[in-house]
A and B are shown apart, each in its own frame.
Chain A
């Protein structure tokens, strides 16, 4: 895998500068790691692949087979699990690890439903802190504090 940096002007025309993303070429080639993550998720879920495939088929109303699961977890890049099917697979396996793996390059993470209020609480605490600081600033400026 090439690791050369995408730099403006390395090509033949000035147009190449348009494609300068500042990220190393191939830096987001996460295919193999993602397939390994899928494989680990399937092994750890406690259901066999036939069972998982059947449940995914039911949820997606499509023909999803164990053979397809095997292909999606193999190193053959020509087979890739559909993004829409991944949601069903995570639901069936009870693991959000495949999504977490995909979100890592975006510096994001999965927020579980049970954590929603906790994140909201953290945000409210921060807002309160900001408001308190501002109140103190104005009060001090206006001589409302001793």
Chain B
């Protein structure tokens, strides 16, 4: 994990807060309602400051993203290991294509067997 990614992650958190149009107090309040936690604005400030000693716990990230209506912080973390995010719709498309690949593979195997034994 490079220092650059840590900084990018913090920038993504800051950007999420700014573009959400919600105040930090409101974001903290919504996160607490959804997670039954006692997060404070002071803690959120620490998680987004330049001091790398403090960082947002992973289990709060989905709620943070839900409240700020962005998935960019996840994208930044995943980009570090060459991954990205995809929507459920993309997941469905991916599944269909994989099944088509399997069908093609099975058809090729059938053709090969038919060539060896000859069709009935």
Contacts and interface: CB of A to CB of B under 8 A. Distances in A.
Counting chain B residues whose Cβ lies within 8 A of the other chain, the interface size class is 35 or more
A44 interface: no
Interface stretch (A46-54, A78-86, A136-144): A78-86
B58 A83 contact: yes
B110 interface: no
Nearest to A25: B33
Contacts, number: 152
Name the prevailing secondary structure of the B interface residues.
helix
Name the prevailing secondary structure of the A interface residues.
helix
B25 to A, nearest CB: 10
* Nearest 7 interchain pairs by C-beta: A80-B57, A122-B93, A82-B55, A111-B86, A28-B34, A111-B84, A113-B82
14 contacts: A19-B29, A28-B66, A29-B36, A60-B1, A61-B3, A82-B56, A82-B57, A84-B1, A87-B80, A96-B83, A99-B83, A111-B90, A119-B94, A126-B93
